[in-house]
Structure 1
Amino acid sequence: MRIVRYVVSRILKLAGNLSKGVFFAVHFVWSSLRLTIPERAGPLVRPTSNHPIPRIVWQTNFSRRVSLNIYANYLFNRIMAPTFEFRLLDDDVADAFIATCDERTQANYRRLQIGAAKADFWRVLTVYHHGGVYMDMDAGLVWPLGFTLGGRRELYITDQGDRLTNYFFASAPNSPQIAEMISIINRNIEENVLKSVWDITGPSVFNTALRGKNVQIEHRTTVCVQGLITNEFFQYLDRPAGKWTKEQQTKRVTSPDKPASS
């Protein structure tokens, strides 16, 4: 079955690459086209059974108004996860959720100065408290999500170097592994030694927290692939600062001083 899933993912990747040409053509003709993804969308098909991992896909973006390419990616994932509710939180809604967390977490979140780092912290906090699946906006499922998760309590994926990544993960609520990730991020912010989003709040946190742990892990090519039908151009079309890799070259990830309580 894993071989079948891999072959399907390669076919989808090829189709996705071909579709990008169409999206570029549409953008050339109608560059101002934007579509709004709803904050909350119920499942397309009513689930027939309960699973340890809640059937919620969590996503975040600086705005819910997106390019046609990103909107098409969203619809594709909805089809691949028909029994799942989708929730997209923009910056304001994400900030409101953080305001319900403990004071230490709130203070450290306010110290983050790059949006991607805030999104990293938000995703582990959200999945810890509520459970569900987190997916980046440019991530594309390569196999129906319900079948991929089955009766598991968690699922993490690795990239081409067999390193854990954080653009997709799934867990039941109150996971001790994710609690460890939250602790690591809080400590990284407070120590303020690391310089990269990747290390402070990103995939390095997953690799540190899960090293040696007995958790469910699969390779990305059989679960979920970044850039399946999207690319960086369309994702950051309306964000002048661009991707976090560029932003952190001119701005510190973490403010040097602890901000005053708001």
Structure 2
Amino acid sequence: MAIPKQIFQTFKTHKLPWITKFYIKRMLKKNPEYQYHFYDDEKIQSFFKDEFPPEYFKAYNRLTIGAAKADFFRYAILYKKGGVYLDIDSGINSPLRDFIRENDVALVTDEIPPTYYVQWGLVYQAGHPFLQKTLENILDNIKNNPHPHNVHKTTGPTVYTDSIKQCLAENPNIPHRFLAPHYDNKMQFKYKMGKFFLYSDKSEHWKRKQLTQNIIKPENEDSI
């Protein structure tokens, strides 16, 4: 079964700057056979309520930083739906058909430099073990909060990379395909000026916020 031809993106609101809309339109023009799905914060709430057990919804709402919530969502949406996830400030250099094969079930690629696996862009069939393990590890991180000021380790590339390595250590035959870094440069990490227009208030950027606030609410605190 081929990877579904659908693209998922998320941002806190539907109010997107012109440059973001431009890159979305350019991406869809290159990939007319793909359906496009945009999720704002409200739609993500409904997704977790409808598609996952209550523990996932509660865990998602314990996260206090938007970037961590977006991390959790990207694994969850592809685990349930399958397809392509792309960060709202990243882009696609080539049509997806140029590097996604009909028999692919999961694509994995290194960052540049190759420290972690890329998760600003993800390509998966639904139900893949790499995503399942990542979600399980994130639930554990939210429950135990071992990294209260580190989004990267709690929900980001660190836990994603570690989860894949755990899976392959247990079963090297899990189907997947490795590509050269950044999907052989077919995807673009953070197009120019995207961050400037999307995050005009630099104090709200996750790298700063995680230094001064716990990224996970206490379990007994109202999470919504």
> Hey, what does 1:255 align to over in structure 2?
217
Question: 99, 107, 123: which is aligned to 2:74?
Answer: 123
Report how far residue 260 of structure 1 moved: 5.3
Question: 167, 178, 189: which is aligned to 1:217?
Answer: 178
1:66 counterpart letter in structure 2: L
> Hey, what does 1:204 align to over in structure 2?
158
Q: How does 1:66-105 map to 2 (within 5 A)?
A: 66-100=16-50, 101-105=52-56
2:34 paired with 1:60: no
Aligned Cα RMSD in Å? 1.8
Report how far residue 223 of structure 1 moved: 2.4
Structure 1 length as normaliser, TM-score?
0.75
Where does the alignment leave 5 or more consecutive residues of structure 1 unmatched?
1-50
Q: Which runs of 4+ in 1 moved over 6 A?
A: none
Secondary structure at the counterpart of residue 109 of structure 2 = strand
Q: Deviations over 1:100-135 (max 9, x none)?
A: 211221221111011111111111111101111100
Report how far residue 240 of structure 1 moved: 6.4
Where does the alignment leave 5 or more consecutive residues of structure 2 unmatched?
none
> Hey, what does 2:195 align to over in structure 1?
232
> Hey, what does 1:24 align to over in structure 2?
none
Secondary structure at the counterpart of residue 79 of structure 2 = helix
> Hey, what does 1:158 align to over in structure 2?
110
* Alpha-carbon separation, structure 1, partners of 2:34 and 2:223: 37
* Alpha-carbon separation, structure 2, partners of 1:110 and 1:96: 12
Report how far residue 261 of structure 1 moved: 8.0
1:67 counterpart letter in structure 2: P
2:215 counterpart letter in structure 1: V
Identity %: 23
* Alpha-carbon separation, structure 1, partners of 2:14 and 2:110: 28
Secondary structure at the counterpart of residue 188 of structure 1 = helix
> Hey, what does 1:243 align to over in structure 2?
205
| 8 A Cα contact 2:75 2:134, kept in partner | yes
